Amino acid sequence: MSSIAFIVNPHAGNGSTGLKWPAIKACARNRLGSFKSYVTTGAGDAKQFTEKAITSGARLVVCVGGDGTLNEVVNGFMEQGESDRSGLTLGFVPGGTGCDFIKTVSIPKDTEQAIDLIAAGPVRCIDLGRLFFKDHDGRDCCRYFHNITSFGLGGEVDQRVNRTTKAFGPFISFIWATLISILLYGKKQIRFKVDQGLEQEFIIWNVAVANGQYHGGGMRVAPDASVDDGLFDITVVGDMSLPEVFLSLPKLYNGKIKGIDKVITLTGKKIEALSDQRVLLDVDGEQPGMLPVVIDIVPGALNIITVP
């Protein structure tokens, strides 16, 4: 049995991760020694392989892929009991289209640097988000997220990005999908509650419930978010006109989103939202379902290797 396992999504980064995997594997063996590798072929494999690796004795599980693959690995970790998770560590070698999470926790994009960091082993204990929602077949689901869950425009963008080519890279892929979705997507009316506050009605383009700061290929929607403060940073993009949306797009990328009129920022530990309309979810870059949703924070849930 090996105490190290690699979970590899060869399709991440529009297939580039599969092409790079032999070199990544050789570098990892040189820096880390022997390990067991699991190569995914479809959705859900990364979660199942993570559970299998841990059951087989792995104590360090390294994800090779994007934020969507990392989300599955995180959910595999969360299938373990709290006392069992305390002895487990997650490493990440980024290889996806967006890889927004690493901008918050300082994991190198460069493969060799990421593996060197894993070999050095500095560990940070981070919070996770947990959401309860309906999938597209109407079934009740529970899922964890490491970065950001949003609903509204974000879910529409995910759906568009994930069914088209990502060959032009993260920025072009996400900004093109965002522009098209803005033109085709209507604002939604939602009912929304944070912690024990009163339920309020909003007309929104998007609501981001953030553990990390970035999503959507580099949009800094929660510039003050921290992954270990026990709180979500919540950004509500409200009832803006189309011209206002387009004029404000640069501030979505440069961290000045809080200066936009009709953007509301909040903090909290639990969020409940529902709507009479179809409002899609974005969960770490994936689109698993729709409102209604209940989201709460799980403090100190996971050990992950990051730059100190």
- Which tens digits make up the pLDDT trace of 193-208? 999 999 999 999 899 9
In angstroms, rounded to a whole number, what is the distance separating the alpha carbons of residues 63 and 131?
22
What is residue 187's predicted lDDT score, i.e. its pLDDT?
A: 86
In the chain, pLDDT over 70 holds for what percent of residues? 89
Query: Positive or negative, the Cα torsion across 237, 240, 241, 245?
Result: negative
Quick: pLDDT tens for 64-100: 999 999 999 999 999 998 888 999 999 999 987 668 9
Structural domains of the chain, ranges and CATH numbers in brackets: 4-121 (3.40.50.10330), 128-299 (2.60.200.40)
Q: What is the pLDDT of residue 3?
A: 95
DSSP state string for 176-235: HHHHHHHHHPPPEEEEEEETTS--EEEEESEEEEESSSEETTTEES-TT--TTSS-EEEE
Task: Give the whole-angstrom CA distance, residue 180 versus residue 156.
Answer: 10
Q: Which phi and psi (to 5°) does residue 50 adopt?
A: -65, -45
Predicted confidence (pLDDT) at residue 32 exceeds the cutoff of 90: yes
Q: Is the pLDDT of residue 184 over 90?
A: no
Q: What mean pLDDT is predicted for residues 232-258?
A: 89
Question: Residue 193: what pLDDT?
Answer: 97
Q: How large is the average pLDDT for residues 235-263? A: 89
Task: Judge whether 54 and 2 are in contact, CB under 8 Å.
Answer: no
Contact, 213 vs 221, CB < 8 A?
Answer: yes
- pTM above threshold 0.85: yes
User: Does residue 165 carry a pLDDT above 60?
Assistant: no
Give φ, ψ of 227 to 5 degrees: -85, 0
Where are the alpha helices (H) located in the chain, listed in sequence order?
Answer: 16-32, 45-55, 67-77, 82-85, 102-105, 111-120, 153-162, 170-184, 242-253
Retrieve residue 202's tokens: 């909003």
Residue, of 170 and 87, whose pLDDT is higher: 87
The answer to whether residue 1 scores a pLDDT higher than 70 is no
Confidence of residue 13 (pLDDT cuts 50, 70, 90): confident
